[in-house]
Structure 1
Amino acid sequence: MALTDEAIENIKAMIVAGELAPGSRLPKEDVLACQLGLSRSSLREAVRALTAMRILVTRQGDGTYVSSLEPHLLLETLSFAADVSQGRAALQLLQVRRLMEPAATALAVTALTPQDLEELGDILGRSRTAATVDEFVAHDIAFHLRIVEAVGNPVLSMLLRVLSTRTQRVRIVRGTRTQRSVERAHAEHEEILRALRARDAQLAASAATVHVAAVEHWLAGSLVDGDEPPADD
């Protein structure tokens, strides 16, 4: 194991063992390096890596602290995996999304307020008049995120963000190369909203399943045909 990797694992072990609690300040660099039996350069590399993972937070002029370690915060770093996913990797993410998003949509049925439902309708109205793929995807993300956020579980919200990022969605929508797919997405969004307004959890879950599955099936078919979506520009 490289010295930097060893330093990362040692600091993680200290956090897991409770020696470094969420929000606590790390010992001074020379003290911690001596404690871990590492060079200060290896320790600095480890701190940079753990900061990128949101495990540590560096405060200018004040030192380095353990972050809050809240799951949704740590999950943010995984969004890059969805951003760069293509082909079968993107399909696998969509398959997981299909398992989770319908359940989240069903849970939102009792949590969404009349004002929330009105806002969802407004989002779909703006989506209908989107002039570009990027604009359509922005409204698409806002629609789905508004639904899942009503559940009140930030971990669930972040997981679904990770499973389908803006970059991934833009790439897939562009890859369909047809206005028909966008029109179908509009219709599927309306079905989801109709079920939410009816407070029908089962129907809402079914509508969400159809919506995500349609994208999944198209992507699976494109892989069979050897016509994978192009990378985002």
Structure 2
Amino acid sequence: MAVTDDAISKIKQMIQQGELRPGDRLPPEQELAERLGLSRSSMREAVKALEAMRILDVRRGDGTYVTSLQPSLLLEAMSFVLDFHESHAVLEVFEVRRIVEPASAALAARRATPEQVAAMREHLTAVHGETPSDELVEHDVAFHRMIAAATGNDYLVSLLETISSQTARARVWRALTQDNAVPRTLQEHERILDAIAAGDADVARAAMIVHIAGVEHWLHDAAERESEALAQADEA
């Protein structure tokens, strides 16, 4: 389990056990990090992840608060990876992505103009290994949108936009909790773009399959970890 993932679990456990209640203000960062045996950097990443999930509310200059959700809704929100796994909702969306997006990449390899390829290349150069997780997600969404646009098929662009909107929370969670998510995503995007620039539809399709499948595998693993954590909490 990644360090940040462990930090998220510990904060969630405090809320589940009633140490922190909806509306409560979290202790100062340094105090909470020492109390949970975590580094300040992992604590900050955990808070960012929980803020993205609307579990925590970071008020600049004031502090960080547990959102004023009803306890049942709060726990439901915290377990969204498990909930999605059990209902197959997000996994089904990723199955559709694995079917449609490789075809999109292959079509883009056949139809992308030099100007579109140059724009995608410029987009990639704006992101680097130290790019914050939230910016990585924005980059990822924009890059996939540019590939869809390069197909020249407006219906496909609209379809992929709908699919993308339904995977937003999973993308945020992965970017914030998976080790080396930024460099891995950038490398995969570069392989896809290189194939599109070369006009090689087969390689573009294969590179996109690898990219989407990697996210799917992470989602399965995250759901299993969440399930084990909840089972251990119930036993305790």
Q: What is the TM-score with the length of structure 1 in the denominator?
A: 0.56
Q: CA separation in 1, counterparts of 2:227 and 2:122?
A: 35
CA contact under 8 A between 2:93 and 2:163: conserved in structure 1? yes
Which residue identity does 2:188 align to in structure 1?
Answer: E
Tell me the residue number matched to 2:135.
Answer: 135
Tell me the residue number matched to 1:211.
Answer: 211
Structure 1: segments with no counterpart, 5+ residues: 1-84, 229-233
Tell me the residue number matched to 1:167.
Answer: 168
Q: CA separation in 2, counterparts of 1:164 and 1:188?
A: 18
Residues 58-115 of structure 1 deviation map (CA, whole Å, 9 limit, x = unaligned): xxxxxxxxxxxxxxxxxxxxxxxxxxx9333111101110000000110111211111
CA contact under 8 A between 2:175 and 2:182: conserved in structure 1? no
Seen in structure 2, the aligned counterparts of structure 1 residues 227 and 215 have a Cα distance that, compared at 3 Å, is: farther
Residues 112-161 of structure 1 deviation map (CA, whole Å, 9 limit, x = unaligned): 11111111111111122663222111111111111111212222112112
Q: CA separation in 1, counterparts of 2:150 and 2:140?
A: 16
CA contact under 8 A between 1:137 and 1:169: conserved in structure 2? no
Seen in structure 2, the aligned counterparts of structure 1 residues 179 and 127 have a Cα distance that, compared at 3 Å, is: farther
Q: CA separation in 1, counterparts of 2:227 and 2:195?
A: 34
Residues 171-207 of structure 1 deviation map (CA, whole Å, 9 limit, x = unaligned): 33345x1341221111100100111111100000000
CA contact under 8 A between 1:133 and 1:170: conserved in structure 2? no
CA contact under 8 A between 1:94 and 1:164: conserved in structure 2? no
Q: CA separation in 1, counterparts of 2:124 and 2:91?
A: 26
Seen in structure 2, the aligned counterparts of structure 1 residues 183 and 110 have a Cα distance that, compared at 3 Å, is: same
Work out which of the two has the higher radius of gyration on C-alpha atoms and give 1 or 2.
Answer: 1
Give the drift of 1:225: 2.7
Q: CA RMSD in A?
A: 2.2
Give the drift of 1:167: 3.0
Tell me the residue number matched to 1:53.
Answer: none
Tell me the residue number matched to 2:198.
Answer: 198
Residues 4-24 of structure 1 deviation map (CA, whole Å, 9 limit, x = unaligned): xxxxxxxxxxxxxxxxxxxxx
Q: CA separation in 1, counterparts of 2:227 and 2:124?
A: 30
Are residue 149 (structure 1) and residue 155 (structure 2) matched? no
Tell me the residue number matched to 1:122.
Answer: 122
CA contact under 8 A between 2:133 and 2:172: conserved in structure 1? no
Q: What is the TM-score with the length of structure 2 in the denominator?
A: 0.55
Q: CA separation in 2, counterparts of 1:129 and 1:91?
A: 28
When structure 1 is superposed on structure 2, of 107-116 and 204-213 the one drifting more is 107-116
Q: CA separation in 2, counterparts of 1:100 and 1:188?
A: 17
Tell me the residue number matched to 2:181.
Answer: 181
Give secondary structure in 1 for the equivalent of 2:226. Answer: coil
Number of residue pairs aligned between Structure 1 and Structure 2: 143
Structure 2: segments with no counterpart, 5+ residues: 1-82, 229-236
When structure 1 is superposed on structure 2, of 91-100 and 122-131 the one drifting more is 122-131
CA contact under 8 A between 1:108 and 1:148: conserved in structure 2? yes
User: Within 5 A, what are the aligned runs for 1:1-233?
Assistant: 86-87=84-85, 88-128=88-128, 131-165=131-165, 167-174=168-175, 177-226=177-226
Q: CA separation in 2, counterparts of 1:86 and 1:164?
A: 16
Q: Percent identity?
A: 36
When structure 1 is superposed on structure 2, of 133-142 and 188-197 the one drifting more is 133-142
Give secondary structure in 2 for the equivalent of 1:110. Answer: helix
Give the drift of 1:218: 0.8
